[in-house]
Amino acid sequence: MQLLSTIAAAVVGLSSVAMACDACTGEGDIELVRRVRLVHARMQPDAIPAVVGPKGPLPWGQLTVAHTSDTHGWLIGHVKEANYGADWGDYVSFIRHMRYKARSLGVDFLVLDSGDLHDGAGLSDATAKLPGGVNGQVSLPIFRNLDYDLLTIGNHELYVNDIAQDVFLNFAKFYGDRYLTSNVQIRDPADGKFKYIGRTHKYFTTHYGLRIMAFGILFDFTSNGNNSKIIMAKELVQQQWFQDALHQPQPIDVFLVLGHTSVRDPVTFPLVLEAIRKVHPNTPVQFFGGHSHNRDFKIYDRASTGLEPGRYCETLGWFAMSGINAGTGSRHPKGVPNPTRTARNTTISAGPPEYANPAENSTELVYARRFLDWNRLTFETHSDNVRQFDTPRGAAVSTKVGEERKRLNLTEAYGCSPQTYCRFCVKQDDPNSVYSLVQTALAATIINETRKDIPRMIFVNTGGIRFDLFKGAFTYDDSFIVAPFTNKFQYIPSVPYSMAKQVLDFLNSGAPQKRSLEREMRRSFLPRTVDACPLNGAQFTTAMRKRRVITRRQQVTTQGYVTSDDFGSDGDDTPHEAVPHFSTTNDIVAKGGFPADGKDPEVVDVVFYDFIQSYVLVALEKAGKKYSKNDVSYYLPPSYTSNDFLPDYARKFWTKDCLKPLP
């Protein structure tokens, strides 16, 4: 009864908006009705509902694809960001509706993922801190509730041997021949031999008769653990099994290449395309990338394009193509937008004449792409606002996500952040920058009690901070979201300050210390003027009243992704206002224990993450003195890592005034 009363109150409040708004159109009223249904949407109870929906229906083609990548454990969704509030159960329900719609339209529909399922959120990372636990122990079984057609591996599955082995023994076995790792092998613990983690390739026929050859490829990654092996792309395309797959006698209508690599990577996808084109000059080749964390679409040639769907369950990539000279699927499905663009604006050389104009005697290949905001409003709208959006499996997954959040104590709060700190929406030295907060927190928490009287300079790489920190409750989950890695604090004692003060400049003049390309191509899409704290029911109703200006002539937008790619700037499913973006340095330094009179100390302890130890040693040598690994020891116990100092700071220096139990 209480739930019904709450829904009724919300309906009454929102209905009054529609009635009181003289300028409201039919379209605006529909938007309000949709939002009523989102007041108690299935997503996590503390998630913020989206208030701006898609710009129009999705395109559907002869072959249509939903594509994720770099989810990094964000299966809870972004409970503090309205644009991306859906959880994994919402996505499971959405895909079920899309499969049904595809069948009714008479087109083939595939669901793909390009890897990186670890390192980034509490649901994946917290289990590594449990006795005998491993990263992904909870999140991967939840992820597996999605019936993917094809998947590939990411580099974050390979840094840690235990994670790689878990993927091999459990995750890859679950998906079977759908999990493709064309150039990634692992040492099988059963016999000590290197074997492919998944399958090298898959040849299959779709429901409507398209004959597809698929590969799954990782970029030329070299920082993997010692129980795995990556075959470089140049070697991969020369291997006998790969050449046999290209030369097989069975016809191939389309190549699908999943890759954990940017579609702008000048090596991986171009090498694979070149190898395919030598044997199949006119066959469509579609790439599905990842790794850079960007929304992107690239044209390779007139029969080959690449889609990349962003990161962190913020974006669902959507791709449609028609004009394939095969199969029985509809090339012009009725009642929905169809692909219309040819891949003419190539960004690489046209190549040999034999494939510069593919499919000359057939219907020309046409394409469409869209980047969907990851929220219930998006998913429900594109499901044609079905009366019952939540499928039984989707609802069960949302429930499971909530149960695991509680079991892992992910909602436990350390304190209340007094403001929002972003990574890139302000300059790095701005008080609103998360890096300014990191410097403050490091200086206040990284203290060796036996050396506290000796000034310290603490060097950390900016790539270790992965997300914005929002105003309000700072939770155990947030500690993984903002700083997921477990770098240990090492140091060299009593370094002359005249040399130590040069280290930062040398670090920032060299190559970035990064686990991925994300540091070079990253984005932050945090609205600077919006309070990021979750809205309660009353606040939500008030927010809706403020949104009553929706008319045909005036469109409400929020800050978020504004994408430009090889097809232009119309790919975002929900239009947004751009957020300012500022670059950062490789590293920052925090200072603690310096003389109160402002004078320079004679010596300092040079403290740093173990992850950047080699860079620090090189920088010190450039500054005038050669140190070695033998001079390095732990400044704090190895159990205290880069994942701990922000929670430590929040406990000690932030109040708990904002805390309240979840509904």
The predicted pLDDT at position 39 comes to: 37
pLDDT of residue 317: 98
Q: Residue 444 is inside which H or E element, if any?
A: helix 434-445
- pLDDT exceeds cutoff 90 at 344: no
Q: What local confidence, expressed as pLDDT, does residue 363 receive?
A: 60
* Residue 354 pLDDT greater than 90, yes or no: no
Q: What does DSSP assign to residue 168?
A: I
State the pLDDT confidence band at 627, using cuts at 50, 70 and 90: very high
Alpha-carbon distances of 518 from 246, 310, 312, 425, 437, rounded to whole Å:
32, 10, 12, 16, 21
Confidence of residue 499 (pLDDT cuts 50, 70, 90): very high
In this predicted structure, what is the pLDDT of residue 131? Answer: 95
Please give the pLDDT value at position 555.
62
Helix (H, G, I), strand (E, B) or coil at 110: strand
Closest CA to 71 of 134, 120, 37: 120
Per-residue pLDDT, 303: 97
Mean pLDDT, range 385-393, rounded to an integer: 95
Quick: pLDDT tens for 232-288: 999 999 999 999 999 999 999 999 999 999 999 999 999 999 999 999 999 999 999
Stretch 91-113: mean pLDDT: 98
Kindly tell me if the per-residue pLDDT of 526 is higher than 60: no
> How does DSSP classify residue 422?
B
Q: Which domains does the chain carry?
A: 41-404 (3.60.21.10), 411-513+586-653 (3.90.780.10)
Q: Strand 413-417 vs strand 472-475: parallel, antiparallel, or unpaired?
A: antiparallel
Identify the residue with better confidence: 431 or 540.
431
pLDDT-derived band at 6 (thresholds 50, 70, 90) equals very low
- 20 or 50: which leads in pLDDT: 50
Helices (H), 516-663: 518-521, 537-546, 613-623, 645-653
pLDDT digit string (tens) for 548-557?
A: 323 333 467 8
200 versus 26: which is more confidently predicted? 200
**Which residues, 6 or more positions from 39, have their beta carbon under 8 angstroms from its beta carbon?**
6, 7, 10, 49, 537, 540
If you average pLDDT over residues 350-355, what whole number do you get? 35
Q: What is each CA distance from 307 to 136, 149, 655, in whole angstroms?
A: 26, 17, 45
Backbone angles phi, psi at 325, to 5 degrees: -80, 55
pLDDT at 514: 57
State residue 660's pLDDT score: 72
Instruction: Return the ∠ at Cα 255 (arms to 249 and 256), rounded to 5°.
Output: 140
Q: What is the mean pLDDT of residues 297-303?
A: 97
Is the distance from CB of 115 to CB of 289 less than 8 angstroms? Answer: no
- DSSP letter at 210 equals -
Average pLDDT over residues 430-445: 98
514 torsion bin: left (phi>0), alpha (psi -120 to 50), beta (else): beta
Q: Are strands 108-113 and 150-152 parallel, antiparallel or unpaired?
A: parallel
What is d(CA 60, CA 72) in angstroms, rounded to the nearest whole number? 28
Tell me, what's the pLDDT at 143?
Answer: 98
Give how far Cα 350 sits from Cα of 237, 299, 301, Å: 21, 11, 6
pLDDT recorded at residue 408: 98
What are the C-alpha distances in Å from 188 to residues 11, 196, 263, 359, 550?
A: 58, 9, 31, 44, 59
Would you say residue 360 has pLDDT above 90? Answer: no
Indicate if the pLDDT at residue 544 is higher than 50: no
- Prediction pTM value: 0.85
- What is the pLDDT at residue 270? 98
> Residue 481 in 3-state DSSP?
helix
Residue 257 to residue 152: CA distance in whole angstroms = 10
Residues 42-67 pLDDT 10s = 789 999 999 999 999 999 999 999 99
Structure tokens at 38: 């989102």
Radius of gyration of the CA atoms of the chain, in A? 26
Which helix (DSSP H) or strand (DSSP E) does residue 12 occupy?
helix 2-20
